[in-house]
Chains A and B, each alone.
Chain A
Amino acid sequence: MSQRSEVYRTSLLGLLSPAIVLSVWESAGALGWINPILLPRPSQIVWSLVELVADGAVFPPLLYTIALFVVGYAIASILGIAIGVAMATSETLYGLLEPLVEILRPIPKSALVPVLFLFLGIGKTTMITVVVLAAVFPVLISTFQGVRGLDPVLLETARTFQVSRMRTIFSIILPASLPMILAGMRVALGLGLVLVILAEMLAGEDGIGFRILDLQRAFQIREMFAWIFVLVALGGGLMMLFDLIERTLVPWRGKT
């Protein structure tokens, strides 16, 4: 991670390559080397973006997507951690749930979108469920591995001191396996974003994925690229937020 911050420290140099790419793109467009209808110039896209932000049109779909994602991701994280801990600490629950998890986990979740329409109809419930299904398994697996990988002495000690089961989980197991849980949540973050955009494209009423496909069908390419820029900002923002939270919760991570 230190190498990454090294690039950001020399932030002027870091801006150099994106600047070069943008100016090549811009001048290629201005010189007519690329079809301006299919690939608008960055300045035109930024102008569309400014219009989107200025008249506030950017906010409802953006908030819609964020809301869907956050709700789905939160449910997936809580479920994943809870089931992961349960399966790792109870042999009975492990036996009960392991076959089901092993059957559901390998299904590419995108294939479940049409199936979920049938159950839940078109709408928010379906989209949130898709996000949950995509994000829950990485969290579950890494939580499970994290808890199973804990030092047995730690748990023995807790038992010796007759710490209650709930307290053992909340005060010992969860903090100790936090790095692994967060590693799973990081994978889940990316997967959840992929699926929320896909769900909006296939079953959307609103949201960024819906806008992008809608604009492509109306052949409004410039506006479509503006929305992709919005999505880049959203994805980047969420990842930075995640880094920040991880660094706060697990300050020792990455220093080994």
Chain B
Amino acid sequence: MRKAFMIGLAVLGFFVLSPQRATAADLEKLRVSIIPINDVAPLFVAIQNGYFRDLGLEIDTTPSAGGAAGIPGLIGGSFDIVYGNVVSVLLASQQGLDVKVIAPGTKVSARDTDTTPILVRSDSGIKNGKDLEGKSISVNTRNNVIWLYARAWIKATGGDPDKVTFKEIPFPQVEDALRQGRVDASFLVAPFSIVSRQKPGLTAIANPYSDIQLGVDVGQYITTGKLLSAKPETIKKFVAGLRKGVEWFNANPSSDALLTMISGYTKTDASILKSIALPAMPLHTDLPQVKKTMELMIENKLLPGPLDLSKIIDPIAL
């Protein structure tokens, strides 16, 4: 009864909003969930330069701050494609959810464009994982990609990750938490890692992605196996359009046009963005790198054993 009542309500809700959904365009519409950060810039390049339209696609992006609602929303049918991180994809797949990687998103390809450091207070004297034992480090979410590489870095620099307290602090709150001494170290992404160092007092002691696994594939574009087998041509077009966007991005790094565009969807001030070094974006998913990440996940007990990556990463991404 309760379920029927729920479904009834959902149906009612659906009717209320259905006029909004109607689109008269003859373009095929794809709903893509994104995180409003630099990493998805190639997607926006492809949209703005009309690459998708030329292929007969209309891309409707939906932001999700921090990306938490991405894969659940994909399963719930709100999105066709989701930008998500490699760890979430593997976790979802391990739990039996039907997710497929169709394109690479972000890659930490060079140390000088790695804007994801571990920050500490300059006077704290903390230099490595060993120093962090008995202290605390913040990540945005436990059991995700940030958490995983923070643990790996602590281990690689002589510490025991189990002796370090991991605190969940959303990125925007990290700077205050660090300065007020509520946490001893933080693994932080751009633009927060840049902005928080504009005032003295905080120092970067490491870049875990570069230190542990230079070349790691952090982000991916994901869809469901169901959609992939139902509309392989549509997905192929999406990947083709995205690749053209990546090529334009890599050819025009730090151009004003690019910065204005990123500022548009992240709502971050363009002057802040200027100080962020943009890494080159990947064209293909790097299978050995994903495999390395998987092994780290097994080591940190996020996965009970190896997964068959060929079933998770579709050949179209390679």
Given contacts A118-B176, A122-B177, contact A220 B95 (CB under 8 A): yes
Residues of A within 8 A of B167 (CB): 122, 205
A37 to B, closest residue via Cβ? B96
Task: Report how far A213 CA is from B94 CA in the complex, Å.
Answer: 18
The reply on B199 being an interface residue by CB < 8 A is no
How close is A25's CB to chain B, nearest CB, in angstroms? 7
The reply on B277 being an interface residue by CB < 8 A is no
Residues of B within 8 A of A123 (CB): 182
List A residues 7-27 near B (Cβ within 8 Å).
17, 20-21, 25
How close is A118's CB to chain B, nearest CB, in angstroms? 6
B95 contacts A37, C-beta separation under 8 Å: yes
Q: Mark A162-205, 1 if CB is under 8 A from B, else 0.
A: 00000000000000000000000000000000000000001111
Q: Mark B177-192, 1 if CB is under 8 A from A, else 0.
A: 1001010000000000
How close is A36's CB to chain B, nearest CB, in angstroms? 8
Task: Report how far A122 CA is from B144 CA in the complex, Å.
Answer: 19
How close is A42's CB to chain B, nearest CB, in angstroms? 12
B92 contacts A219, C-beta separation under 8 Å: yes
Q: Mark A198-232, 1 if CB is under 8 A from B, else 0.
A: 00001111000000011011111100000000000
B181 to A, closest residue via Cβ? A121
The reply on B280 being an interface residue by CB < 8 A is no
Given contacts A21-B1, A25-B3, A221-B95, contact A121 B143 (CB under 8 A): no
List A residues 50-108 near B (Cβ within 8 Å).
none
B176 contacts A121, C-beta separation under 8 Å: yes
Q: Mark B1-17, 1 if CB is under 8 A from A, else 0.
A: 11100000000000000
Task: Report how far A216 CA is from B68 CA in the complex, Å.
Answer: 9
Describe A's contact surface by its main secondary structure. Answer: helix
How close is A78's CB to chain B, nearest CB, in angstroms? 28
B173 contacts A122, C-beta separation under 8 Å: yes
Given contacts A37-B97, A117-B173, A121-B182, contact A214 B143 (CB under 8 A): yes
B97 contacts A219, C-beta separation under 8 Å: yes
Residues of B within 8 A of A17 (CB): 1
B88 to A, closest residue via Cβ? A217
B182 contacts A219, C-beta separation under 8 Å: no
How close is B188's CB to chain A, nearest CB, in angstroms? 14
The reply on A38 being an interface residue by CB < 8 A is yes
B68 contacts A217, C-beta separation under 8 Å: yes
A21 contacts B3, C-beta separation under 8 Å: yes
Say which residue of A20, A121, A204, A218 sits within 8 Å of B177 (CB atoms): A121
Residues of A within 8 A of B112 (CB): none
Say which residue of A202, A203, A217 sits within 8 Å of B144 (CB atoms): A217
A121 contacts B173, C-beta separation under 8 Å: yes
How close is A50's CB to chain B, nearest CB, in angstroms? 20
Residues of B within 8 A of A203 (CB): 168, 170
A201 to B, closest residue via Cβ? B68
Given contacts A117-B173, A204-B168, contact A218 B3 (CB under 8 A): no
B177 contacts A219, C-beta separation under 8 Å: no
Task: Report how far A121 CA is from B180 CA in the complex, Å.
Answer: 9
B182 contacts A122, C-beta separation under 8 Å: yes
How close is B139's CB to chain A, nearest CB, in angstroms? 12
Task: Report how far A204 CA is from B168 CA in the complex, Å.
Answer: 7
How close is B204's CB to chain A, nearest CB, in angstroms? 22
B167 to A, closest residue via Cβ? A205
Residues of A within 8 A of B75 (CB): 38
The reply on B72 being an interface residue by CB < 8 A is yes
Residues of B within 8 A of A21 (CB): 1-3
How close is A219's CB to chain B, nearest CB, in angstroms? 4
Task: Report how far A218 CA is from B176 CA in the complex, Å.
Answer: 28
Residues of A within 8 A of B141 (CB): 217
Task: Report how far A21 CA is from B97 CA in the complex, Å.
Answer: 26
- By a beta-carbon cutoff of 8 Å, the part of chain A in contact with chain B is 17, 20-21, 25, 37-38, 117-118, 121-123, 202-205, 213-214, 216-221
- By a beta-carbon cutoff of 8 Å, the part of chain B in contact with chain A is 1-3, 68, 71-72, 75, 88, 91-92, 94-97, 141-144, 167-170, 173, 176-177, 180, 182
29 residue pairs of the A-B complex, CB under 8 angstroms, read A17-B1, A21-B1, A21-B2, A25-B3, A37-B95, A37-B96, A37-B97, A118-B176, A121-B173, A121-B180, A122-B167, A122-B168, A122-B169, A122-B173, A123-B182, A203-B168, A204-B168, A205-B167, A205-B168, A214-B142, A216-B72, A217-B68, A217-B141, A217-B143, A217-B144, A218-B91, A218-B95, A219-B92, A220-B95
Given A37-B95, A217-B88, A219-B97: 12 more A-B contacts, CB < 8 Å:
A17-B1, A21-B1, A25-B3, A117-B170, A118-B173, A121-B173, A121-B176, A121-B177, A203-B170, A205-B167, A205-B168, A221-B95
